[in-house]
């Protein structure tokens, strides 16, 4: 994709998602709307991500779509510094009040407008990528995810976790293939797949599968 076309797509995406802040501010008017603190599934899901970063210290880390910073805090022991970014001012205000201390920083920003002044050796995005594709073409998705890749330092890692219904669910047979498509965009942009697996959760009639992908920046 050439630079002009990429710039046009970015402007279109930026315009479309300008209304998202209002939606998420209203959602986070109530504390912990996703039940990140009380729902076992959320705790288990965040644990899968933490398992991917335990092997070393990441000096500069970034979590996209951090909400109220629950997982940001879980990742912080494995980071020199970690920055959480979310479109909701309300969520970020609560994150700062409850978890914005030590090596943790929070920024209220729309991810399509976010332009960091530094590189990161770890970027984490959980159930985030599909928001970029809603009502848009795959080219929009490719343009934005490629920006994430540009924020990685050499040797840096990007962790994607995206959930879908069970693989055998008749209404979600396409789910895993779409999630794999996010990873393929990252590979096309220069990242190497290090590890990928489907992690499942099932309890009390609730069943969910998650594709966890760990990619590394092989560019110097």
pLDDT digits (tens, 9 = 90+) for 96-108: 999 988 999 999 9
Tokens of 107: 């920024």
Q: What pLDDT score was predicted for residue 168?
A: 52
Closest alpha carbon to 129 in 106, 152, 161, 158: 161
Domains of the chain: 3-217 (3.40.50.150)
Q: What is the largest CA-CA distance in the chain?
A: 50
Q: For 106-132, write each residue's pLDDT tens digit.
A: 999 988 889 999 999 999 999 988 777
- State pTM to two decimals: 0.87
Q: What is the pLDDT of residue 182?
A: 87
- Can you tell me the distance from the alpha carbon of 30 to that of 193, in angstroms, rounded to the nearest whole number? 38
Res 80: pLDDT: 97
């Amino acid at each position: 994709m050439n630079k002009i076309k990429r710039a046009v797509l970015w402007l279109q995406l930026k315009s479309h998602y300008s209304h998202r802040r209002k939606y998420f501010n209203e959602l986070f008017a109530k504390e912990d709307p996703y039940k990140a603190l009380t729902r076992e599934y959320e705790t288990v899901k965040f644990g899968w991500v933490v398992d991917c970063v335990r092997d070393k210290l990441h000096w500069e880390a970034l979590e996209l779509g951090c909400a109220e910073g629950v997982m940001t805090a879980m990742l912080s022991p494995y980071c020199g510094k970690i920055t959480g970014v979310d479109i909701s001012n309300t969520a970020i205000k609560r994150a700062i009040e409850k978890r914005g201390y030590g090596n943790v920083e929070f920024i209220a920003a729309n991810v399509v407008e976010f332009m960091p002044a530094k590189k990161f050796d770890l970027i984490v995005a959980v159930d985030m990528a599909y928001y970029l594709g809603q009502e848009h073409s795959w080219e929009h998705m490719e343009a934005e995810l490629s920006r994430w890749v540009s924020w990685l330092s050499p040797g840096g890692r990007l962790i994607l976790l995206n959930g879908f219904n069970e693989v055998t669910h008749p209404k979600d047979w396409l789910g895993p293939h779409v999630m794999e498509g996010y990873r393929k965009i990252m590979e096309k942009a220069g990242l190497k797949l290090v590890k990928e697996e489907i992690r499942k959760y099932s309890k009390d009639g609730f069943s969910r599968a998650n594709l966890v992908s760990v990619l590394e920046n092989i560019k110097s």
